[in-house]
Structure 1
Amino acid sequence: MIEPTDSEVVGRGGAPLAVRTWTASNPGWIALVAHGYGEHSGRYQWFAEQLVGARAVVCAPDHVGHGRSPGERVLISDADTVVADLEEVRKDVCAAHPGLPVVLVGHSLGGMFAVRYGQLHQQHVAAVVLSAPVLGTWHVLDLLEDAEIPDTPIDPDTLSRDPQVGQDYVADPLVWHGPFKRTTLRAIDECLQRINEGPALERPTLWLHGDDDELVPEADTRTGIDRIRGREFHEHIYPGARHELFNETNRSEVVNDVLTFVGRQLNS
């Protein structure tokens, strides 16, 4: 096991964000990872180890209100603030490793943040990887129609075909297991509208999705893909795979596709 280095980076709102960094002995690139809703960067240990094996520095902050970062749990009032936090983290890791290209990796809601980051700061990244990103439409936003948000936590069975993944998720004290918050849902809805009205991603982009993803269905994401699809856009849809592709039973295949894509972009 490769132990991460723990640090703090002051976010745009002034709060110290918890950051995990895994570093190769002779790094050639930086992977900036944006995790999904309700979880934290520590759940990317295996994925980070694979990227380190390909000479990456893997830098993954806990978003405000998530994991070990401060703030009311899972409360996001403006998604662009999270995007601004990602930029602060990027500047910090690039100062420690000057000259290395940055690949932005976003999973689920982190994929939404990654797309928005790409629209606002794409000059700072060499490529973008989107794992089951929340784009286009998302059925969870239907909860905004309810007078009270029901307590409907994420079903762990939707995460992976590996039952251990769901069991670990349920037992993880740093994962949020409570209901969605109206303020956060509104912020997500507003961010999706901004993305739809914004520019396409001009950096090479790889979209990964499982066709049995019930949490963020591939068909819903596809409704937003054409709005951000740039000139170099690639996709892999995995039959039978569920939501967390980096924790799926075919995760080695998924990571190989990521590293093939990254290698092609960085060596071009």
Structure 2
Amino acid sequence: MHQQYKLPFKKYSISIMFTQPKEILGVVVVCHGFGEHYGRYVQDVIPQLEDLGLAVVAYDNIGHGQSSGKRGHCPNYSTLLDLLDVVIERVESRYLDKPLFLYGHSMGGNLVLNYALRRTHHIRGIIATSPYLRLAFSPQKWKMILGKVMLKIYPSITLSSGLDPMGISRIPEEVENYKNDPLVHDKVSPMFSFPVMEAGEWAIKNSNLLKVNTLLLHGTVDPIIDYKGTEAFHQNASTTTLKLMVGGYHELHKDICRNEMLEYINNWLAQQL
């Protein structure tokens, strides 16, 4: 069963989908990365989770995919956590006593880790792939200066994120799929970028407060998000398992190592269940 609908959230219309196996052992909420949408998880990640007996709920964040909102902009970071909170409430009311897992990639990884650290919850486990905790590149200096000025006077203005699609995968076809996806964008506002960066650093410094079993996966050649930030998060925490994919690029689930990566996730989830 695979269903899609629109979830009203404040002034936004959020695109959300869910799918479930016949026998449900648990449920996973999937949070996509910046500039993309949940549809990019339908062919690889979601079927793997469903095969494990997990219902899957995924949504397009504000300003992404089929959800409403200016592309690449959000009111503030708290609103992103509030939306995740609303999605989780819907999931818990639908699946009641089933164990809940969060799966976040890149920006989604930033969100699920910060949610676990900052909000009251009943999460059984977290999977964070290439979590956006620290950039692997330095944005152009003029963009940073302009962005900080605009954060105060025009926080919704959007500029190119500077993300190089070549960094997502070593598979040329996957890069082309990304570049040609009409729902993918590279726009970002100061109100989206700076708070997410700050939340990444905050999460690293406070990961010792994490109480949830968490699997962290990151490629060692990720040119977009620094795997050393994920290492720092892991080293400061007591409930994390870190799996570094040697040679892996940013989107591990669409890279050469995807089978190994997905199998590792399956084994970890099976242990949690």
TM-score by length of 1: 0.88
Aligned residues: 260
- The match for 1:215 among 224, 245, 255 is 224
Deviation at 1:192, TM superposition (A): 2.9
Structure-2 residue corresponding to 1:175: 184
1:94 aligns with 2:103: no
Q: CA RMSD in A?
A: 2.2
d(CA) in 1 for partners of 2:41 and 2:173?
Answer: 15
- 1:159 and 1:113, CA in 2 relative to 1: closer, same or farther beyond 3 A? same
Deviation at 1:41, TM superposition (A): 0.4
Structure-2 residue corresponding to 1:154: 163
Deviation at 1:264, TM superposition (A): 0.9
Structure 2 SS opposite 1:126: strand
**Are the equivalent residues in 1 in contact too, given 2:31–2:58 (CA < 8 A)?**
yes
Structure-2 residue corresponding to 1:20: 17
Deviation at 1:177, TM superposition (A): 3.3
**Are the equivalent residues in 1 in contact too, given 2:38–2:65 (CA < 8 A)?**
yes
d(CA) in 2 for partners of 1:42 and 1:95?
Answer: 24
Q: Which moved more, 1:183-192 or 1:107-116?
A: 183-192
**Are the equivalent residues in 2 in contact too, given 1:48–1:58 (CA < 8 A)?**
yes
Deviation at 1:220, TM superposition (A): 3.5
List per-residue Cα deviations over 1:202-260 (Å, max 9, x = no partner).
11011000111001121233344444x2x321111011110001111221211111111
- Partner AA of 2:13 in structure 1: P
**Are the equivalent residues in 1 in contact too, given 2:234–2:241 (CA < 8 A)?**
no
- The match for 1:247 among 244, 248, 254 is 254
Gaps of 5+ in 2: 148-157
Structure-1 residue corresponding to 2:151: none
Structure 2 SS opposite 1:252: helix
- Partner AA of 1:155 in structure 2: D
Gaps of 5+ in 1: none
- Partner AA of 1:255 in structure 2: L
d(CA) in 2 for partners of 1:215 and 1:151?
Answer: 14
Structure 2 SS opposite 1:187: helix
- The match for 2:210 among 177, 201, 204 is 201
Structure-1 residue corresponding to 2:105: 107
- 1:193 and 1:232, CA in 2 relative to 1: closer, same or farther beyond 3 A? closer
- Partner AA of 2:94 in structure 1: A
- Partner AA of 2:144 in structure 1: E
Structure-1 residue corresponding to 2:271: 264
